[in-house]
Structures are given as structure tokens and as C-alpha cells.
Structure 1
Amino acid sequence: MQDRRTLLKVCAAAALTASVFSGAAVAADNYPNKPIRLVVPFPAGGTTDLVGRLYADKLGQALGQTVVVENKGGAGGSIGSSYVAGAAPDGYTLGLATVSTHGINPAVYPKLPFDVLKDFTPISNLAAVPNIMTVNPNRVAARNMADFVKAAKAEPGKYTYASAGNGSVSHMMGELFKSASGTDLMHVPYRGVGPALNDALAGQVDVMYDNLPSTLPHVQAGKLIALAVATPKRVAALPDVPTFAEVGLAPVNDPSWFGLVAPANLPKEILDKLSAAVKQAAADPAVKERLVSLGAEPVGNSPDAFAKQIADEVEKNKRIAKTANIKID
């Protein structure tokens, strides 16, 4: 009798397991059959929001369902990212991942409520956005990188650089530049790109590190002088501005990226559908035209390739944070 009960329990467990897997398979086959939420972990209006909304429209077309953008900003993108990490892995809650949320924050925040390498399913890098180093022409005499590095080495600590805040992309880029160039610049943190850029334009600081889209109009107007861009090849909008690799500062040459993630343990069938939809969206002429107008370009790489990018970004920023002693409680 005991053996018979044990056998019944085993059979029941096997049936339950089969039912769960069968239900998951059906859910994947029918995916998506309702609107999808895309969480942007920053306020509306910034580059992350722009990329998210651009892709949301095209992903919706590719998947045959509406993709609704929800902005959940705060704590350097950690609030929105934490929300995504805690959601059900059913493909109906996706998130925008950035260099900040999935590269810098794990390196500078010791108590993040999630693990970027374990709590997410990477889907694809959506767009690569160049970063740029500029100087105010009324404060800095140099008009090229060689002259600026020479001047900065001659007077350590004289030149100041603005960032969007401690632990921001611009802060990490500034510290990486200092390390790669052997210079000593004074960091001036602001609360966001806007205030930092305003003071760079007003001549309150000498140097500015930023994503290209927000700085580009001021370079084109001659209000700021571009010394180098962080991107594999020169930017079409600034053909005379060299990359950091070209001026001998290859470690600073990585662009920013904006990618798509889901909660961990996303079923492979759903991951494959989302990956295919991203590739279709990235190939759309309207997406490319809009991104190129901002100095960016679509990517649409594989989940494995994007996972490696995230891991590499975390390691790079851990090295920067350790060298510069950057830690945010």
C-alpha cells in the first residue's frame, strides 16, 4: 500500500510538471496576446526615453501588439530596473538597460536590490550612442587633444570637468580619461546633464563629457569645441573630430549603449521572438534615420552578444571605480 501511494505521488508530480511545461509552451506559442510594458528607468525626454519610444513603436508593429512605455525614474535608474527584475518572466514586462543601470551602478552602489548578471535576460543592444569630450573655447586655448593633454599635464589640477553627477556616465568617462591620458582634472558634479551643460556653455567649467545628442547642437554652433568622440568610427555629423582611439586614448573609446532586457528565466521561445522583433526594428529605415540624426546607430545584436557587453561593462566600471575610489552609499 505504501509503495502504491508513493507511486501515485510520483505520477501526480510528473503530471503537474508536464502541465506546467505544457502551459508555458502554450503561453510562448500565443505570445504576445496582450499589450507589453516597456519600462524606461529614467524620466521622459532624455536619450533613454527617446530610444525606448522609438523602438517601442517598431517592436509593436513587429509583434502585433501595443508596446506601452512607462517611465519609472529615480536612484540612477535603479528603481525602474528593480521593478523589471521583480516582474514575471512572461515577456509582458521589458526594460531599457543602459551603461548606467547595467554597467556603472553595479560598480559604484554596494547595495543594489538586484544583480544585473543574474536577475535579467539580455535581449539585444538597441542603439550605440557616441560620447564626446568638449572644451569651452573661452577658457581652454587647446583646439585638439594633443595640445589639451600637454596643457593639462603642465598644470595638474588647473582644468575642471563637469559631469551629470557622481557615478554618472560622464563622471566615469572623465576618470577614465584622466587615467588613460595621465592628466589630473578636477571633477565638478552636477545634478543632471542639463545643469552641467549649462555651466560648460557659460564658462563656469573647462571640460564636458556627455552623450553626443545633447552636446552636438552646441558643437555645431561653435559654442563648444569637440576634441574627440567615443565610438568605433567618426561621426558623420562631425567628420573632422577624431575618435579617442585615433588620438591614442583607446580605453576611452567605448560608446554608450541602450539595450532591451527582461526578467531572468524568460522562456527561450519568447526570447527568440523578441530578438527577431528587435532585429526587424533595427533594420527599419525610419529607426536608422532617426538615430543617425542624433549621432547614434541601431545595433540589434544577439542575446549572447549583449550579455557579454553587459558583463564587460560591469568589469570596466569596477576598475574605474576602484582606481578613482568612487563609491555611492
Structure 2
Amino acid sequence: MQAGKLALTLALAAAATAAHAQSYPTKPIRLIIPFAPGGTTDIVGRGAADQMSRILGQPVVVENRAGGGGSIGADAIAKAAPDGYTIGISTVSTMAVNPACNPKLSYDPIKDFKPITNLANVANVIAVNPNFPAKNYKEFLAVLKANPGKYSYASSGTCGFGHMLGEQFKVSTKTFMVHIPYRGAGPALNDVLAGQVPIMVDNLPSSMPYIKAGKLRPLVVAWNKRLDSLPDVPTFGEMGLKEPNDPAWYGLVAPAGTPDDVIKKLNEAAVKALQDKDFQQRLRTAGAEPSGNTPAQHAAEIKKEFDKMKNLVKVQNIKLEQ
């Protein structure tokens, strides 16, 4: 008798879940962007929200929750009710770099989220002040090898994405540059442009205006092929450097425990959103390339990057500034 009651309870629960997924969404969805308005993350997130609102028939309302290098917003996503009505933007910083640098972080990037899709990828770049004594990547590498510790590179901050790419580059090339952390890419770029620091390691979108203006010289990019906008600049992959060649990405995740049928519906809406020509143009103008893969593929991207960053933190003995 008890077994029969249990079976009936499970059947009713399954039916309720299925009904929820079929009717979902019936109210607005909150999209947490774990960074301040205006940056690439915000551009990607707001564009996705606009298109997904139209596709799903309910408003997708953006909430910027900045702070802690994205960890405050990521924690809010992880702690939200797993009902499909709170989702958020995933980034390399929030899902890989921060957890690798700070084991005491309040969330686990693998256990506490359910990936939906990768929305867009962004190239990364190593660029130098035009006065730097190297005109291309091969000359740059030769200068660094001949002068270990003489040159420094700027990044958006300790355990920021630029810092980690710079350290990965050092490991991969067996070179040594001194890291100079800043409070954001803007201040770092200002000092590189002024010649205070010779080298910049950055996401391409924030450096691109200065590259186009001739104020920065790009030497190598992280991308799967040469960029149409920088046809003379090789990729790390071309130079035999596999580890630094991964792009940055901006995805969608939900709290762990969100029903699979809801994840499927969100994935379909996001992929369809990325087919919109205007949204594609907005992304490309910001230096991002539309993606739109499966939940399993984005989960694999997160795990790969997290494992890579954990190893890098250990090898380079990277410690987060407190």
C-alpha cells in the first residue's frame, strides 16, 4: 500500500513538473548580470534579454549586481530559487577565474549552476605601446626572452582575466614579465597608452579603439583563426600556444535544480535570439561573436576553463588581494 502511495506521489510530482515546463514562463524572468552597466557583459546580457522577452512572451528583466569581480552577482544566481525565473550571465571570471583564485568563495561553479548556453565569444589580445622595441610577435618573444623581468604588463586587476592570460602566456613561453594590476581595464589602458607600462593583456573590445587609432600595437590574439579586423596579427594557436588561445565567453546559467524542461526552453529561446540580425550586429560591434551551443557544451566549457585556471593558480602561486 505504501509503495502504491509513493508511486502515485511521484507520478503526480512528475506531472506537475511537466505542466510547469509546458506553461513556463507565466511571469517575468530576472536576468542577473554580475557586472556594472556598459561593459561587454552588459551588452551581451541586455541584447539577449531583449530578444528572449519577445520569444518567450514574458519580460526578461535585467538586474546588474556588480562587485567582487562578478562574484556577488554569481552568488545571487546560485542562491536563487531553481524555478526558471532567475537566470544569469556566466563569464570566465565568475565561473573559472574567481573560484580558482578564491577557494573560500560562497559558490561552486560546477555544482551550483545549470548551464543554458554560451551566448558569445570574445577574442583576447596582447598589445604594446608603439614605442616598445618589437614590431611583431616573434620580435616581442625574443625581447622578453633576452630580458627576463625587465618588462611589465598591465591588466584589469589581480585574478582578472587579463592577469590570468598574462600568466598563462608566461608559463607557455617560459618568459617572465612583471604583473601590474589596476582597478579595471580603463586605468590599465591609460598607463599603457602613456608609456608608464609597456604591455597590455586585455579582452580585445576594450583595446580595439586604441589599436584602430594606432595608439596600441597588437601582437597576438586568442581566437580560432585570424580576425578579419586584424588580418596581420597571428593567433596564439598559430604560434604553437594552445592554452592561451581560448577566447573569453559570455553564457547563460540557471541555479542548480532548475528543471531540465525549463533549461531546454531557455536554451531554445537563447539560440533563437542569437539568430536575430540586429542582435548579431550589436554583438559584433562590441567585438563579440555569437555562439549558441547546448547546455552540455557550455557545461564542458565551464569545467575546462575552471580546471585550467585551478592549475594555473597552483603553478604560478597566484594569490587574490584581500
In the TM superposition, what is the alpha-carbon distance from 1:12 to its structure 2 partner? 5.0
Specify the alignment match of 1:50 in structure 2: 43
- The structure with more radius of gyration: 1
Specify the alignment match of 1:177 in structure 2: 169
Counterparts in 2 of 1:297-308, with a 5 A limit?
297-308=289-300
Specify the alignment match of 1:225 in structure 2: 217
Question: In structure 2, what is the Cα distance between the partners aligned to 1:10 and 1:41?
Answer: 46
Question: In structure 2, what is the Cα distance between the partners aligned to 1:192 and 1:75?
Answer: 12
Question: In structure 2, what is the Cα distance between the partners aligned to 1:296 and 1:105?
Answer: 22
SS in 2 for 1:203: coil
SS in 2 for 1:326: coil
In the TM superposition, what is the alpha-carbon distance from 1:14 to its structure 2 partner? 4.6
Specify the alignment match of 1:125 in structure 2: 118
Specify the alignment match of 1:280 in structure 2: 272
Specify the alignment match of 1:323 in structure 2: 315
Question: In structure 1, what is the Cα distance between the partners aligned to 2:36 and 2:81?
Answer: 23
Counterparts in 2 of 1:33-44, with a 5 A limit?
33-44=26-37
Counterparts in 2 of 1:100-115, with a 5 A limit?
100-115=93-108
SS in 2 for 1:297: strand
Structure 1 unaligned blocks of 5 or more: 1-6
8 A Cα contact 1:98 1:258, kept in partner: yes
Specify the alignment match of 1:71 in structure 2: 64
Indicate yes or no: 2:249 matched with 1:257. yes
Specify the alignment match of 2:193 in structure 1: 201
Structure 2 unaligned blocks of 5 or more: none
TM-score, normalization: structure 1? 0.94
In the TM superposition, what is the alpha-carbon distance from 1:89 to its structure 2 partner? 1.2
Letter in 1 for 2:256: A
Aligned residues: 321
Question: In structure 1, what is the Cα distance between the partners aligned to 2:241 and 2:169?
Answer: 8
**Residue 97 of structure 1: which of 81, 90, 94 is its match?**
90
Q: Deviations over 1:276-329 (max 9, x none)?
A: 111111122112222222332100000111110000001111111111101325
Letter in 1 for 2:252: L
Question: In structure 2, what is the Cα distance between the partners aligned to 1:293 and 1:194?
Answer: 19
**Residue 146 of structure 2: which of 131, 135, 154 is its match?**
154
Moved more, 275-284 or 169-178: 275-284
8 A Cα contact 2:40 2:286, kept in partner: no
Question: In structure 1, what is the Cα distance between the partners aligned to 2:278 and 2:226?
Answer: 22
Specify the alignment match of 1:61 in structure 2: 54
Question: In structure 1, what is the Cα distance between the partners aligned to 2:225 and 2:274?
Answer: 19
Question: In structure 2, what is the Cα distance between the partners aligned to 1:94 and 1:231?
Answer: 28
In the TM superposition, what is the alpha-carbon distance from 1:20 to its structure 2 partner? 3.0
In the TM superposition, what is the alpha-carbon distance from 1:234 to its structure 2 partner? 1.6
Letter in 2 for 1:288: Q
TM-score, normalization: structure 2? 0.96
| Percentage of identical aligned residues | 52
Specify the alignment match of 1:3 in structure 2: none
Question: In structure 2, what is the Cα distance between the partners aligned to 1:128 and 1:248?
Answer: 21
Question: In structure 1, what is the Cα distance between the partners aligned to 2:155 and 2:302?
Answer: 22
Question: In structure 2, what is the Cα distance between the partners aligned to 1:291 and 1:229?
Answer: 18
8 A Cα contact 1:84 1:94, kept in partner: yes
In the TM superposition, what is the alpha-carbon distance from 1:184 to its structure 2 partner? 0.7
8 A Cα contact 1:237 1:295, kept in partner: no
Letter in 1 for 2:90: A
Question: In structure 2, what is the Cα distance between the partners aligned to 1:210 and 1:39?
Answer: 24
Q: What RMSD over aligned residues (CA atoms) do the two structures have, in Å?
A: 1.4
